[in-house]
Each structure stands twice: as C-alpha cells, then as structure tokens.
C-alpha cells in the first residue's frame, strides 16, 4: 500500500516499499504561483535529508527544494522539465523525482497532521 507523507518544507512523498516519489504540495504551488522552471538532480545522484536537491522557479520567487529524506535518485519526471506548469494543474500527480530510500521517514507528517500544520502558517 502506498502511503503519502508530508514535510514542513511543503513536499509530499508517496512511499512504496523502499521507493518514494517526491513532489510539492498544493499549498506550496498556490504560494509559488505559476511555475516556470525546475532544476532537478540527475539519476544516480544522492539527495541528503535537510539539504537542497534542486529548485523551483515561479513568477514570484525561486525556492529551494529541501529533501525530506536521504536517498538515491532513481528517476526524474522529464515531462516537468518541459512543462513545469503541470505542477500547478495537479501537484499530487506531478511528481518531481523518485528515490530509493536510505532511511525511514518517521519525521514526516501524515495528511491530517500536514493540514493542521498549514492552518497555523
């Protein structure tokens, strides 16, 4: 069963065994506005929990993408490089990268916890 978890940096992870797809939340894409450009890591790159693994540029700002967990990049969503506006259309279908998890994700929130978290922002 796939489980969705959320980080305080407004990324979601859809976890399936030791693999996870990572994307930005609806809250984040709303705050960013129209997304124009993505800078993502390459396949086989290592991402490190708490460090930037890329950035996302919108009409308003450029924001770092902060890794919610550590792992090795298995795939990047090539479609988004050419059409980053897909994130605005459906941020939960428009995953950014898929990684092989190096650790568990106990520091992340479930959907209800994330909803409560963004209400307080």
pLDDT at residue 103 in the model = 75
Residue 83 has what pLDDT? 97
**Do the Cβ atoms of 32 and 60 come closer than 8 Å?**
yes
At 108 the pLDDT is: 94
- Greater confidence (107 vs 78) lies with 78
What is the per-residue burial (b if ≥16 Cβ within 10 Å, else e) of 42-62? eeeeebebeeebbebebeeee
What's the N-to-C CA distance of the chain in angstroms? 31
pLDDT for 107 equals 83
pLDDT at 106 > cutoff 80: no
Range of the domain at 29: 3-119
- Reported confidence tier of residue 1, pLDDT bands at 50, 70, 90: low
CATH code (residue 29)? 2.40.50.100
Query: Which residues are CB-neighbours of 46 under 8 A, at least 6 positions away?
Result: 70, 71, 72, 73
CA dist., res. 92 & res. 74, Å (int) = 19
Q: What is the pLDDT of residues 3-49, one digit of tens each?
A: 899 999 999 999 999 999 999 999 999 999 999 999 999 999 999 99
The number of distinct structural domains making up the chain is 1
Q: Is the dihedral of CA 13, 6, 46, 41 positive or negative?
A: positive
pLDDT tens-digit map of 85-99: 999 999 999 999 999
Average pLDDT of the residues in 101-115: 88
């Amino acid at each position: 069963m796939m489980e969705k978890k959320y980080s305080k940096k407004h990324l979601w992870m859809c976890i399936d065994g030791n693999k996870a797809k990572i994307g930005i939340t609806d809250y984040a894409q709303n705050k960013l506005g129209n997304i124009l450009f993505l800078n993502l890591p390459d396949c086989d790159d290592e991402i490190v929990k708490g460090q930037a693994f890329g950035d996302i540029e919108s009409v308003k700002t450029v924001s770092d993408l902060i890794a919610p967990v550590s792992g090795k990049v298995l795939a990047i969503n090539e479609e988004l490089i050419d059409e980053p506006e897909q994130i605005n259309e459906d941020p939960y279908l428009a995953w950014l990268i898929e990684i092989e998890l190096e650790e568990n994700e106990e520091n992340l929130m479930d959907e209800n916890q994330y909803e409560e978290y963004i209400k307080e922002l």
